[in-house]
Chains A and B, each alone.
Chain A
Amino acid sequence: GENVEQHPSTLSVQEGDSAVIKCTYSDSASNYFPWYKQELGKGPQLIIDIRSNVGEKKDQRIAVTLNKTAKHFSLHITETQPEDSAVYFCAASIGSNYQLIWGAGTKLIIKP
């Protein structure tokens, strides 16, 4: 069935360095790819999303790239800060019922 794989499961980077999280999806019909950030004790919150008609999108220190041919997309965080520490989820749209298939999550740790 449809699947989204996310790597790595844990990522530890030095404050100020960049972090990259990668996802692959299986459904070639997927056309919406959001990234969510979940802080401890809270619900996930959208940080950036990209649609299939765009290859890259940037919002300040956060960027997402999409390669539809290879069916993978990545989250890039530059100049990481302590408040970036959280669990990050990628997701891909499936079907026409506003359903998302979610990756397993990446725990990002920013070392001071």
Chain B
Amino acid sequence: DTAVSQTPKYLVTQMGNDKSIKCEQNLGHDTMYWYKQDSKKFLKIMFSYNNKELIINETVPNRFSPKSPDKAHLNLHINSLELGDSAVYFCASSPSSGGRYNEQFFGPGTRLTVL
């Protein structure tokens, strides 16, 4: 009965490679997010999708590209990985209801290490 799941949990790769992280939620939410948490635990929003439509696109390198094939999935593809991309990436989802903020449910995170 996993609510928000991410794969893989750990990802170790070389600089310059391309990798993807997948996220799925079974809560029926229509808003999904990607966050980056650095080594100092600071949480930074990267992207947000509402009903498969991009609504937040913070200043991140265009090497990062989100893809939402349907409301339950939001994947993150990263091209030409750099050392500074090493972090924990969290997917989250929330119900949206007429502009009212609601709880965000987070996945377990994907720890990306770029060597």
Residues of A bordering B, CB below 8 Å: 31-32, 34, 38, 41-46, 49, 87, 89, 93, 96-100, 102, 104-105, 107
Contacts and interface: CB of A to CB of B under 8 A. Distances in A.
Contacts of B96: 98
7 contacts: A31-B101, A34-B103, A41-B108, A46-B104, A97-B48, A98-B55, A104-B42
Given A96-B99, A97-B55, A98-B50, A105 B42 contact: yes
Contacts of B56: 97, 99
Contact of B41 (A31, A41, A99, A105): A105
Shortest Cβ-Cβ A-B pairs, 4 listed:
A43-B106, A32-B101, A102-B43, A46-B103
Given A44-B90, A97-B50, 18 more contacts: A34-B103, A38-B41, A43-B108, A44-B104, A44-B106, A97-B56, A98-B31, A98-B50, A98-B96, A99-B48, A99-B56, A100-B45, A102-B43, A102-B45, A104-B42, A105-B41, A105-B43, A107-B41
